[in-house]
Structure 1
Amino acid sequence: MKYKFSDLISRRERTKEVNCEFDMAPFHFEGEKMEPLSKVVVNGNIVSKNDEVLVDLHVQTKLKLVCSRCLETFIYPIDIDIEERFTNSEERREDEDVLFVIGDELDIAEIVESEIISTLPIKRLCTNDCKGLCQTCGKNLNKESCTCDNDNIDVRLAGLKALLENKEV
């Protein structure tokens, strides 16, 4: 899914419709492996205007992620819109409103993959109310409960707790 700037800018018809699907390879992000479970579906338009190209796309796919709390895998749907402006004109290289591309090719798959990565949440959770793992025995608290004493007591205050409970430290 590569388009040439020169073709897009020199054409009489300035709009190119994009409707495609492609396989995205598994990738690593923040030390974790992300696996696409379905093809990436891309629909939208590429519009050229003077020396820039506007990419307006809608992207959908599903990723298999690992929950940050319980370490179980879950399906994370991706449903995003991308609207970016690109140019390969040296005069506009420093323009902050337009992304500069070296060469004559605009790779839509590369743009889509980087946008998918940028939309991933920092803390990936299977559900908003995920209980995570027991800090003592490691059981998944979403599936079963445990009988561990999980009083989170600051070690520096353990003496005070013992004193209040009339215990010897």
Structure 2
Amino acid sequence: MKIKLDEITEAGISLDVVEQGSALNEIAGGSLDFSFLSPVKAHLELSRQGRSFFISGEIKTSIRMSCSRCTKEFDYPYDAPFSSYYERAGKSAERESELRAADLDVNFIEGDELDTADLLLGQIALELPMQPLCAPECKGLCPKCGADLNLGDCGCARDKGKETKFSKLKDIKIK
């Protein structure tokens, strides 16, 4: 859905948006590490002040991801609030200037429309865990044989009695 920036008033507008996961995958060019199991639903509050736009809301969907430890796929319920600050791209965005700390929170909008699909995809990508886990207690895979340690001990000898340069540290007595 595209929102015309001129339709956003200082008093603000509220929108309920639904984007299909397939459309978001298309926008990302197939580069997502996850897939959408349900449409992305969002409630958005948009307001403006001059050339600046404030957008806040809540996004809900269900995502299928791969565990970073055991590589199994799992379903991740996504429900997160967000808020963003946007400015129209203009001459200040085109010229080179020193970046200030306050500039890190500014997103720029080119053109006269805001694409909600881009907005939602960006917010979801920011909020997802960098190392998704199927469960906090996931044991992952054996580094030697590759067996899933969540299903039980693999039985291979994973250097259990091997002497390392840190082995002597366990014998230190601290008073």
Shorter-normalised TM-score: what interval? 0.7 to 0.9
Provide closer, same or farther for how the CA distance between residues 148 and 67 of structure 1 changes in structure 2, counting only shifts above 3 A: same
Question: Which residue is equivalent to 2:150?
Answer: 142
Q: Which residue of 2 aligns with 1:51?
A: 51
Q: Matches of 2:127 and 2:92 in 1, distance apart?
A: 27
Deviation string for 1:30-78 (max 9, x for gaps)? xxx3111111110131112222221111001111111111111011121
CA deviation vs aligned residue, 1:125-162 (integer Å, no higher than 9, x gap): 111111111223322111232211112677876xx9xx
Q: 2:133 aligns with which of 112, 119, 125?
A: 125
CA contact (8 A) 1:51 1:89 kept: no
Report which stretch shifted further, 81-90 or 37-46.
Answer: 81-90
* Structure 1 outlier segments of 4+, above 3 Å: 91-95, 152-157
CA-to-aligned-CA distance 1:91-134 (integer Å, 9 cap, x gap): 66477253221111111121110111112222111111111112
Q: Hey, what does 1:28 align to over in structure 2?
A: 31
The code of the aligned residue for 2:18 comes to: E
- Alpha-carbon spacing, 1:154–1:118, altered in 2? closer, same or farther (3 Å): farther
Task: Show the counterpart of 2:124.
Answer: 116
Report the secondary structure of 1:28's partner residue: coil
Aligned to 1:125, the other structure's residue is in SS state coil
Whichever of the two has the greater Rg, that structure is 1
CA separation in 2, counterparts of 1:153 and 1:18?
62
Separation in structure 2 between the aligned mates of residue 57 and residue 51 of structure 1, nearest angstrom: 20
Q: How many residues get paired?
A: 152
CA contact (8 A) 1:52 1:87 kept: yes
> Taking structure 1 as the reference length, what is the TM-score of the superposition?
0.77
Structure 1 residue runs without a partner (length 5+): 161-169
